[in-house]
């Protein structure tokens, strides 16, 4: 096994401040009395199908009493392949995306007790239950013990086809392993076909960072290395591309698409670009060059370029057209070169204010998965430790990073906008691998979903993206 590992982070500033990785604890739900829990689940389903809301909420209240908490160390994820880890060093994943500092870290890991799961070809987010079971048995855990633990922690799953990453991590900590190695998985933030080994580390003291103080040159200068690695892998795995130039170009185009790099990106590189046509006529900076804006504010061209680049990144949260994002950002920077710095400070201040208010009024919204079928996942919403509602979601068949909201129902007295909005925000933490949530609302409820932060993307669907 590799002695050198890699970790991609969208923002390294906190790690730099703390001098490396630090311990984080999390609480995980599990069920002790499985027979009693499944009996209540059956009654819950029957009351839902009968439309008996009174019985339905009664059984939900009972169900929550079967829940117990397991306190564990939050795992740190490493990869043995730097090009795979590098895909996670993406500033779009950071909370403070305007001032983020992405970095690829190179680390050594101390010797320890490892459970090895051979999961060749599986997606890291969803690993075959049989492969997980076999890995723990081969590491000395009895089949009875691992089966019982899987039932406790994956109690909401109806099928035995696979386990989510967070459940695999919990099993490793539950049985006292230092590391969980998942071998041969497809683990890239943008997808892809590169097989690698992912290591979950529970004690950060076992990790030694080798390049914390080195210049952060890996992302831009190493993209060609990433492209070559990924392109080679794609050609090897897709034998129909027989090495001819036309086919290779198609593969390269697909690779760029997966990394979110458009043709205009390839043309203009990392520098700010001027669109060929004016897509938003009448803008303040329509006839102004970057040099003109720099002279207006008596700053260097480089300062304006960086400010517009930051602005484009922000505006792309609201539009998929890079030329439109550029024009909007350029107009803002024409008025004030520190516009986006001020916006970031204002958003941070707003978030801090919200947190203070929450603490003062002691409001707490928690989510708990209560049921999972091949088609849907049911999530119990608790408000100040009381059952408040239920959310039902399903994975999009076209994109595993998109979650579709099927139903949302709240008890009388809990149908307040701020409670429902907090519950929807909790979905981002519960499903940390998704980028978007979509909903197909009834016409009369569109205004409500707009207040929840959803915007129209088609005649039938509204969407909310991570970070908004």
In a domain, 50, yes or no: no
In a domain, 63, yes or no: no
CA-based torsion, 250, 86, 236, 396: positive or negative: negative
pLDDT one-digit tens code per residue, 382-431: 888 788 889 999 887 777 788 999 989 898 888 888 889 989 988 988 88
- Residue tagged 């029957």 (tokens): 46
Residues 354 and 398 occupy one common structural domain: no
pLDDT one-digit tens code per residue, 318-365: 676 777 788 888 888 888 888 888 777 766 665 666 555 555 455 688
296, with CB counted inside 10 A (0-12, 13-18, 19+), is middle
Residues 102 and 246 occupy one common structural domain: no
Residues 355 and 386 occupy one common structural domain: no
Mean pLDDT calculated for residue range 166-181 = 95
Residues 282 and 383 occupy one common structural domain: no
Query: How many structural domains comprise the chain?
Result: 4
Residues 394 and 328 occupy one common structural domain: no
Please state, in angstroms and rounded to a whole number, the distance separating the CA atoms of residues 25 and 358: 21
pLDDT one-digit tens code per residue, 120-164: 888 777 788 999 999 999 999 999 999 999 999 988 776 667 888
Give the chain's radius of gyration (CA, Å): 24
Interior angle at CA 283, CA 280 and CA 286, nearest 5: 95
Residues 132 and 163 occupy one common structural domain: yes
In a domain, 36, yes or no: no
Residues 245 and 304 occupy one common structural domain: no
Nearest alpha carbon to residue 314 among 354, 349, 346: 346
Residues 14 and 78 occupy one common structural domain: yes
Residues 200 and 274 occupy one common structural domain: no
In a domain, 114, yes or no: yes
Tokens of 102: 């992405």
In a domain, 51, yes or no: no
In a domain, 58, yes or no: no
Residues 317 and 348 occupy one common structural domain: yes
Domain assignment of residue 440, given as a range: 365-465
In CATH, what number is assigned to the domain containing residue 395?
3.40.630.30
């Amino acid at each position: 096994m590799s002695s050198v590992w890699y970790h991609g982070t969208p923002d390294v500033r906190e790690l730099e401040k703390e001098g490396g990785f630090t311990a984080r604890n999390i609480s995980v739900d599990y069920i002790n009395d499985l027979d009693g829990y499944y009996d209540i689940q059956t009654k819950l389903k029957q009351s839902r199908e009968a439309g008996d809301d009174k019985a339905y909420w009664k059984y939900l209240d009972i169900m929550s009493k079967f829940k117990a908490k397991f306190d564990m160390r939050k795992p740190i994820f490493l990869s043995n392949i730097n090009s795979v880890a590098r895909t996670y060093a993406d500033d779009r994943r950071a909370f403070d995306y305007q001032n983020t500092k992405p970095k690829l870290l190179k680390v050594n890991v101390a010797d320890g007790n490892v459970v090895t799961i051979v999961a060749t070809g599986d997606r890291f987010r969803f690993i075959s239950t049989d492969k997980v079971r076999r890995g723990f048995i081969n590491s000395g855990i009895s089949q009875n013990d691992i089966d019982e633990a899987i039932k406790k922690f994956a109690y909401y799953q109806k099928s035995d086809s696979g386990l989510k990453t967070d459940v695999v991590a919990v099993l490793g900590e539950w049985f006292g392993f230092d590391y969980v190695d998942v071998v041969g998985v497809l683990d890239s933030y943008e997808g892809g076909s590169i097989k690698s080994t992912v290591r979950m580390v529970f004690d950060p003291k076992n990790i030694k960072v080798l390049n914390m103080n080195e210049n952060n040159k890996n992302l831009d200068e190493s993209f060609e290395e990433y492209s070559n690695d990924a392109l080679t892998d794609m050609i090897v795995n897709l034998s129909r591309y027989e090495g001819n130039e036309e086919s290779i170009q198609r593969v390269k185009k697909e690779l760029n698409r997966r990394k979110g790099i458009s043709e205009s990106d390839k043309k203009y590189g990392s520098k700010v670009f001027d669109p060929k046509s004016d897509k938003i006529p009448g803008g303040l900076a329509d006839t102004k060059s970057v040099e003109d804006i720099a002279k207006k504010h008596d700053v260097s061209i480089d300062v304006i370029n960086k400010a517009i680049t930051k602005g484009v990144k922000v505006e792309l949260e609201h539009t998929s057209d890079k030329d439109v994002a550029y024009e909007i950002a350029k107009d803002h920077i024409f008025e004030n070169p520190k516009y986006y710095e001020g916006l970031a400070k204002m958003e941070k201040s707003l978030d801090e204010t919200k947190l203070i208010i929450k603490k003062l009024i002691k409001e707490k919204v928690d989510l708990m998965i209560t049921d999972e079928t091949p088609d849907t996942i049911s999530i119990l919403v608790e408000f100040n430790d009381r059952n408040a509602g239920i959310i039902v979601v399903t994975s999009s068949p076209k994109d595993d990073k998109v979650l579709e909201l099927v139903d949302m129902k709240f008890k009388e007295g809990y149908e307040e906008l701020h409670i429902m909005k907090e519950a929807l925000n909790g979905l981002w933490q519960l499903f940390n691998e998704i980028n978007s949530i979509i909903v197909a609302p009834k016409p009369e409820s569109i205004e409500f979903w707009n207040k929840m932060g959803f915007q129209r993307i088609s005649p039938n669907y509204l969407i909310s993206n991570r970070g908004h």
